[in-house]
Amino acid sequence: MFHLCPGSGRVRGCRQTHPADRGGHQHHPRPGGGTGLAFPLTITAATRLYGILGHPVGHSLSPAIHNPEFAACGHDAVYLAFDVPPGRLPAAIDGVRALGLAGLNLTIPHKEAILPLLDAIDPAAARIGAVNTVAAEDGHLTGYNTDGIGFLNPLSARLGFQPRDKRVVILGAGGAVRAVAFALMDAGVSEIVLANRTLQRAEALARDLRATGNTLVRTVAWDGPFTDPALASCDLLIQGTSLGLHDELPEIAWPDLSPKAIVADLVYRADGPTRFLQTAATHGYPVYDGIWMLVGQAAEAFRIWTGAPFDIERAARRCRPDL
C-alpha cells in the first residue's frame, strides 16, 4: 500500500507517520501551496485520480479546493496538479486515457488546445471554443466549460447581480472572457462592450456572440487609459486580461464609471485582492474577487464528476481566509 507524503503532492512508498513523529505538528497547507489533503491518507487500488493540467500550475488552488470536498462527500479520490508544457499536451492526454484518470481541469495554456484531443464536447463548450473540465469514462473523454456558470452563480448569490437587461464592459477577449461573455449573453444582458488591445481578437469574439444571441455587442480598441462612454452606464465592469497575474494595474477612468457598477476581476491571487480590485474598492465600488469564479467553476466541475454539490463559501475561505 502507498501513502501520499505530506506536502509533496506525489505518491511515494513512504512510511505513514503520526503527528508525534513529525515533531507534534499537524500538516496545514499554506494558501496556494498545499494539496488540501488530510494526513495520514491511504491510497488504495480503488482510489480515483483527478487533476489539473497547466503551465505553469504551481500556483493552483484547485487541489486545496477539491481534495477536502472529496473527503467531505466520501468520494475515494485525490486531486493533483500536473505541469504540462504546451507541446506535451497530446502525450499527457494519452497518459490520462492509459492510466484511467477520472477527470481533469484545464488551465492556461490548454483550454483551447485540448479540443481536438477529446472524444466529445458539450455543445456549450463547443460554442465557447474552450474546455476547462473533462469527464473520463473508460478512456472516453468529454469536455465541458464551467467558467461561465462559475462566474455568474456566486456573483448572483453574493452581490445580488441579476444579468437581465444589464450593461457590461469587459476588458480582454481571452478564453475565460469568452466563457463569461456567452454566459452573460445567455442570461439576458442588453449590451456587452469588449475592450482589448488586439482589436481583431475582440471582433472575433463579438462575431461569435452576435451569431448566437440578440445582445448588442460592441468592440473598442483599448490602448492606454480606458475612457469609453460605456463606463457611464455600466452595471458590471470585468477585468479579464492577464495583467492581474503580474500585479499590473489596468488603467481606467474611474471618475467616469457609473456609481451603480460592480467591479469584477477574473484573475485571482492567493494572498489577497488584485491591485485592480483594491483600486476599485478605494473608489467605493463593490468588488467581486476572481477567487469566487474559481470556486464556482470548481463546484460545477465537481458536480459533473460526482453528482454532488459542495459549499462554495467554505471552499473560498479555505483558499482565502480574508474573504
- Predicted pLDDT of residue 175: 78
Q: How confident is the prediction for the chain on average, in pLDDT?
A: 87
Instruction: Tell me the C-alpha distance between 43 and 35, whole Å.
Output: 15
- Predicted pLDDT of residue 108: 87
Question: Mind listing the pLDDT tens digit for each residue in 222-278?
Answer: 888 899 999 999 999 999 998 776 777 888 999 999 999 999 999 988 889 999 999
**pTM across the whole model:** 0.85
E strands, 16-127, are: 42-43, 48-54, 77-83, 103-106, 120-121
Give catalytic residues, as residue numbers.
111
- Predicted pLDDT of residue 300: 97
Omega before residue 40 within 30° of 0, cis: yes
249 phi, psi to nearest 5 deg: -115, 115
Question: Mind listing the pLDDT tens digit for each residue in 302-320?
Answer: 999 999 989 999 999 988 8
- 103-106/48-54 β-pairing: parallel
Instruction: Tell me the C-alpha distance between 185 and 182, whole Å.
Output: 5
Among residues 185, 161, 173, which one has the least CA distance to residue 263? 161
Res 29 pLDDT > 50: no
Instruction: Tell me the C-alpha distance between 322 and 31, whole Å.
Output: 11
Q: What is the DSSP letter of 29?
A: P
Question: Mind listing the pLDDT tens digit for each residue in 128-177?
Answer: 999 999 999 999 999 999 999 999 999 999 999 999 999 999 999 987 89
Q: Which domains does the chain have, with CATH numbers?
A: 2-145+294-319 (3.40.50.10860), 148-288 (3.40.50.720)
Res 203 pLDDT > 90: yes
